[in-house]
Structure 1
Amino acid sequence: MAGTTVSGIGSNIDTQAIVKSLVDSERAPKQTQINNQMLKATNSLSSIGKIQAALDAFRSALETMKNTASFSGLTGTSSDEKVATVTTGNGAAAGSFSLVVTQLAAASKISTKVFTDGATSVVNAGATPTNLTINQDGKKYDVSIPAGATLQQVRDSINSQYANQGLSANILTDSTGSRLVMTSTTTGEGTDITLTGTSGLQTGMTVLAPPKNALYSIDGQTMSSKSNTISEAISGVTLKLTGVSPKASGATDPTANTITVAANTATLKSAVKGFVDTYNALIKAVNAETQVTKNADGSVTSGVLTGDAALRSMLSSVRSELNSMSGAGQMKALSQFGVQTDQKTGTLTIDDKAWDAAVKTNAADINGIFTGDTGLLARMKAATDSFALSKTGVFAARSASLTDSLGDLQKQQDSLDARMASLQASLSAKYTAMDSLVAKLRAQSDSIMTTLNALNNPKDS
């Protein structure tokens, strides 16, 4: 703390130490109070932040699991992944399908005229910018071409502006010169690329490849798609076409690819384990902030949020949903599939023997336990809504309150610092005045003693 330095030269007393001791004594009670409150608020804010992060991760995982078909225990396979790959989603059902692909969906590809000076050919020889408009599927992409711009610069401008929208430009060069070639990730009939504008690049434009639809058949039914990713043909199944169906040697018809959607208990267990891991991550985060540690001397140290009412309420809501029955099958609880709760930690484990026994005859019941509007995933997410809302949730409100408290404590700290600075200045001034007075009194005393000594020692006449 800044203040006047008191040397005590006149009084030979360390007045600076006296002032410091008095100021420190005055500061100590309030400073201790502020320090303790700041430490508690900071630790609480940090712990609540960790709980919020864990809760957000838990809820995000629940939402992801809700949107997958993992709990149905179904997986899709393709007999030839060079023709198509398969993923299953909500609404999938067991079945087998015959797929023949005769044509993949393709994008439009066009070329400009040939520029004899190659990639460095000047496209805009004028003194003012020109404009190139790329048209596709009802959308327009404008490219400004500055005076003196080359073919290479036009290519770079297109790629930098529109690569994230699926457009791409390249330069092809041969002995006759270079031309700009443009294509797109947008496939299917009606997505032709055309050029307009004032750049002149549209003049002499050539279609290298027209856009095409994917042509295929499922169980003999002829179908088409603008995209090679097909999600509407088979309910709950997404096909990604990767190639045309091959023909066996001497055969006139392509070889059919078998798409199979079937139960897979390994997939089902992996899904349940994923839920268990997600649940345990939340519980472990809570335990870390609430655990009571026993010290070597026998005393105990409580966690920052030990006994926190909001945290207890959240855990109660989650555990209540975990233990509730759901689904329309014979088995309606996770405990019937060997999912057990550790009574000490609150985390979940899977008893493999109990799981294997239950899943042999009741695998379909798992889907009913987890999914749907009244399933475990939806209920757990709803149970944590009031705690997790970003602005009005219980923990968000606590964080805001603690942040305000820290702000108030900082104001108290600033006020205390200012008051102690004023006190030190005041005391320093008083002790300086005292030291000055003592110095004057000593000087007067020394003068008087000198005079008295002179009178007591008269010179001989």
Structure 2
Amino acid sequence: MAITSALGLGSGIDINGLVSQLVRAEGQPALNAINRQETSVKSRLSALGTLKSALSGFQAAANKLKDGGLFSKHQAATANDNIATAQASSLAVAGSYSLKVTQLATSHKLITGGVGYSGYDAEIGVGELTLSVGGAAFSVNIDDTNNTLGGIRDTINRAQDNTGVTASIISVDEGYKLVLTAKDTGSANAISMSSTDSGLADLADNMQQQRPALDAIIEVDGQVATRGQNSISDVIQGVTLDLKTADPDTVFDLDVSVDSKAITEAANDFVKAYNSLMSSVKNLGKFDAETQAAGALIGDSTLRMVQSQIRSEISRPVDSANGDLNSLALIGITIDRNGVMSLDNSKFSEILDGNLGAISDVFSSDQGIANRLSERLDQYLKTGGVLDSRTKSLSQQLKGFETRRENVQVRLDNLESALLKQFIAMDTAVGQFQATGSFVAQQLALLNS
């Protein structure tokens, strides 16, 4: 009877279909509400991620201008890069110099003189061989395991106390020759080789100078400077000169100046990052009357706070800067009525060339805009900050939606079970009434016959 009733055979009703429809009608509003809320939370989470990304980009741009080193950064350029190039550090001071490269530094090189040896395995002798580089000596022991030309080369190169010489072998028309080259340039790194042992002494005495050990000689503003290397960083403070070739007859200019290009690029990046941030803020909080579409954070208090506080930091004068040039607007960075920031390159460059300190103070002094912004932005972006707390709260809400769905499903399962019992009972009663009716009809028919 239970199976027959479940199929609706007693009443002719599709009990399973009817119960499913009733359960679905009961549960769908609750599930729809959960889905809407979940979609809203996911949308806000995504929007907070977009806002955080824009804030991080703006903070990175502000931090470049926060670093006072940017405003002390210099560039160096020579009028003849074929002779020498130059680089400037933060220690450099703006100025112009005349430069002449009289001589390049060279590394000392010795080579076997006269007729060379018959090959790599030509036997030389045994004993002790002493080499000196700039007066710093080391010795190698030569025995019957390494007493060939190749063996001596390898032993010199592998010596742990080698003071700065590299040995090699070249094969030329005159035979195989040993070549000794100082690892460092300059007269202080001249090589010598000696031995008191037969064979080795012949090798040492036969070494001839192939290239002298020379110092670099330059003239800066007519003053001579001699150094042991071709990269010179201690003649002009904060400037490294890399010598390329010697040309005693050519005098050329070296200019050291503030790296205006780097500062202007940083200022332009700041403007772009601000506009990108404000565009994101606008899109996240806007409402389109035509499409009725709303931003994911429309009416959000955090979004309004971010917009208001950053605009305040941007527009507020800098107390630690010069009174005549103590704001972004006064150095050429303005915001129009649509909230778009722009940089007047002409005005900015003019102030940069004539009053670098003013621009530096506006951005990087104690109360400078970049310092204020960095501190403010950190409140939003740091772990435990405003955005982090909001994100964690919304993430926690997301986890709760699945639990709510499970609770709704348990309630619907219980409802389905209860409805099935009720309809089965009804179907059973209807079946019984139909059976009784058929019996009564049969009996009446018999009486009338």
On whether the aligned pair clears a TM of 0.5, the verdict is yes
**Alignment correspondent of 1:423:** 415
Give the aligned CA root-mean-square deviation in angstroms: 4.3
Seen in structure 2, the aligned counterparts of structure 1 residues 192 and 256 have a Cα distance that, compared at 3 Å, is farther
Contact 1:329/1:368, CA 8 A, preserved across alignment: no
**Alignment correspondent of 1:138:** none
Secondary structure of the corresponding residue to residue 413 of structure 2: helix
* 1:13 corresponds to 2:8: no
Secondary structure of the corresponding residue to residue 326 of structure 2: coil
Secondary structure of the corresponding residue to residue 104 of structure 2: strand
- Which shifted more, 210-219 or 18-27? 210-219
Shift of 1:224: 6.3
* 1:366 corresponds to 2:379: no
2:405 to 391, 396, 413: 413
* 1:281 corresponds to 2:270: no
2:255 to 252, 255, 260: 260
* 1:294 corresponds to 2:289: yes
* 1:339 corresponds to 2:338: no
Seen in structure 2, the aligned counterparts of structure 1 residues 304 and 191 have a Cα distance that, compared at 3 Å, is farther
Structure 2 portions without partners, runs of 5+: 108-118, 122-149, 167-177, 187-214
Q: Using the alignment, how far apart are the partners of 2:165 and 2:67 within structure 1?
A: 35
Seen in structure 2, the aligned counterparts of structure 1 residues 366 and 330 have a Cα distance that, compared at 3 Å, is same
- The percent of aligned pairs where both chains have the same amino acid is 25
Contact 1:76/1:87, CA 8 A, preserved across alignment: yes
Shift of 1:348: 0.4
**Alignment correspondent of 2:306:** 314
Deviation readout 1:193-225 (Å, 9 max, x if unpaired): 9xxxxxxxxxxxx99866437976684444568
Seen in structure 2, the aligned counterparts of structure 1 residues 420 and 259 have a Cα distance that, compared at 3 Å, is farther
Q: Using the alignment, how far apart are the partners of 2:63 and 2:164 within structure 1?
A: 35
Seen in structure 2, the aligned counterparts of structure 1 residues 455 and 76 have a Cα distance that, compared at 3 Å, is farther
Structure 1 portions without partners, runs of 5+: 106-113, 117-175, 184-188, 194-205
Q: Using the alignment, how far apart are the partners of 2:279 and 2:234 within structure 1?
A: 41
Seen in structure 2, the aligned counterparts of structure 1 residues 24 and 293 have a Cα distance that, compared at 3 Å, is same
Secondary structure of the corresponding residue to residue 304 of structure 1: coil
Shift of 1:430: 2.9
Seen in structure 2, the aligned counterparts of structure 1 residues 425 and 208 have a Cα distance that, compared at 3 Å, is farther
Contact 1:245/1:254, CA 8 A, preserved across alignment: no
Shift of 1:386: 1.0
- Using the size of structure 1 for normalisation, the TM-score is 0.62
Shift of 1:454: 3.9
Q: Using the alignment, how far apart are the partners of 1:57 and 1:427 within structure 2?
A: 59
Shift of 1:25: 3.7
Contact 2:75/2:88, CA 8 A, preserved across alignment: yes
**Alignment correspondent of 1:439:** 431
Aligned positions of 1:153-164 closer than 5 A? none
Which residue identity is paired with 2:96? Answer: S
Shift of 1:442: 2.4
Deviation readout 1:160-215 (Å, 9 max, x if unpaired): xxxxxxxxxxxxxxxx9xxx9xx9xxxxx98999xxxxxxxxxxxx9986643797
**Alignment correspondent of 2:374:** 381
Which residue identity is paired with 1:94? Answer: A
Q: Using the alignment, how far apart are the partners of 2:436 and 2:447 within structure 1?
A: 17
Which residue identity is paired with 1:380? Answer: L
Aligned positions of 1:45-444 closer than 5 A? 45-67=45-67, 71=71, 74-81=74-81, 85-86=85-86, 88=88, 90-97=90-97, 98=99, 102-103=104-105, 211-212=183-184, 219=220, 220-222=224-226, 239=240, 241=242, 244-248=243-247, 253=248, 258-263=253-258, 268-295=263-290, 301-323=293-315, 324-325=317-318, 326-328=320-322, 330-344=324-338, 346-351=339-344, 354-355=347-348, 361-389=354-382, 391-444=383-436
Q: Using the alignment, how far apart are the partners of 2:301 and 2:251 within structure 1?
A: 62
- Using the size of structure 2 for normalisation, the TM-score is 0.64
**Alignment correspondent of 1:453:** 445
Contact 2:64/2:70, CA 8 A, preserved across alignment: no
Q: Using the alignment, how far apart are the partners of 2:314 and 2:415 within structure 1?
A: 61
Shift of 1:384: 1.3
Q: Using the alignment, how far apart are the partners of 2:423 and 2:13 within structure 1?
A: 10
Shift of 1:90: 4.0
Seen in structure 2, the aligned counterparts of structure 1 residues 271 and 192 have a Cα distance that, compared at 3 Å, is farther
Q: Using the alignment, how far apart are the partners of 2:30 and 2:58 within structure 1?
A: 42
Please tell me whether Structure 1 or Structure 2 has the larger radius of gyration of its CA atoms.
Answer: 2
Secondary structure of the corresponding residue to residue 384 of structure 1: helix
Secondary structure of the corresponding residue to residue 77 of structure 1: strand
Q: Using the alignment, how far apart are the partners of 2:349 and 2:90 within structure 1?
A: 24
Contact 1:74/1:93, CA 8 A, preserved across alignment: yes
Q: Using the alignment, how far apart are the partners of 2:9 and 2:219 within structure 1?
A: 105
Seen in structure 2, the aligned counterparts of structure 1 residues 13 and 263 have a Cα distance that, compared at 3 Å, is same
Q: Using the alignment, how far apart are the partners of 1:440 and 1:115 within structure 2?
A: 117
